[in-house]
């Protein structure tokens, strides 16, 4: 009986736990997310990132400790059963100055927040990180600690699933 209880305890402890990943904020509103995947939104306080190039000239973000805020949106498509290398993700990175959270940017002005899009998949010639310079981003203050982020954007270099982010976030 004792071993049966231990076996039961072991099986119950192996269950996976699902939760939204939001750091230093509360997720109030979820962006439109395709039904075939999951979307997460993270606020990384006291971080900053630079856009680097690797040995073949491909872009990638380098996140380090800093005095800005990084917003990271991720769409992860559900894995396709019985396929090898069937993973697919899209990410959007934005870097905000904590003293100027309210912004309204269009087109090339998106460079002020280092707007970066990633398409990560086994998609020959159509994967990697790309600077976002087409679209608009608006962050409006709703209350003392709540802000509404709305972004629409387009990438010409690769196909994209996510083209809109609509989040209400609360900074702690």
Q: What is the DSSP string of 43-63?
A: EEEEEEEEEEE-TTS-EEEEE
61-71 burial string, b = 16+ CB within 10 Å, else e?
Answer: beeeeeebbbb
Q: Judging by DSSP bridges, how do beta strands 68-77 and 37-53 pair with one another? A: antiparallel
How far is the C-alpha of 140 from the C-alpha of 132, rounded, in Å? 20
Q: What's the pLDDT at 106?
A: 96
d(CA 75, CA 117): 11
Residue of 48, 151, 42 lying closest to 103 (CA atoms):
151
Please report the pLDDT score of residue 31 as a whole number. 64
Each of the 172 residues of the chain gets a pLDDT tens digit; together they read: 443 333 333 333 333 332 233 344 434 345 678 989 999 999 999 999 988 899 888 888 889 899 999 999 999 999 887 788 888 999 999 999 988 899 999 999 999 999 999 999 988 889 999 999 999 999 999 998 899 999 999 999 999 999 999 999 887 6
Phi, psi dihedrals of residue 9, rounded to the nearest 5°? -60, -40
Nearest alpha carbon to residue 76 among 95, 94, 92:
92
- With contact defined as beta carbons under 8 Å apart, do 134 and 111 qualify? no
Please give the helix or strand (H or E) that residue 73 lies within, else none. strand 68-77
Rounded distance between C-alpha atoms, residue 73 and residue 11, angstroms: 33
Alpha-carbon torsion, ordered 155, 97, 47, 17, to 10 deg:
-70
Task: Determine contact, residues 61/113, Cβ cutoff 8 Å.
Answer: no
The confidence score (pLDDT) of residue 9 equals: 38
């Amino acid at each position: 009986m004792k071993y049966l209880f231990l076996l039961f305890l072991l099986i119950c402890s192996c269950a996976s736990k699902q939760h939204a990943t939001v750091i230093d904020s509360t997720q109030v509103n979820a962006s439109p997310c395709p039904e075939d995947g999951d979307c997460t939104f993270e606020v990384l306080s006291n971080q900053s990132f630079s856009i680097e190039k690797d040995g073949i000239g491909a872009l990638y973000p380098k996140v380090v400790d800093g005095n800005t805020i990084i917003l990271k949106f991720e769409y992860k498509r559900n894995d396709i059963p019985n396929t090898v290398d069937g993973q697919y993700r899209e990410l959007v990175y934005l870097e905000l100055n904590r003293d100027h959270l309210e912004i309204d940017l269009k087109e090339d002005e998106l460079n002020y927040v280092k707007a970066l899009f990633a398409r990560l998949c086994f998609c020959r010639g159509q994967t990697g990180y790309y600077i976002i310079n087409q679209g608009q981003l608006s962050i409006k203050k709703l209350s003392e600690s709540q802000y509404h982020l709305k972004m629409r954007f387009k990438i010409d270099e690769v196909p994209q699933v996510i083209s809109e982010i609509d989040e209400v976030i609360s900074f702690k």
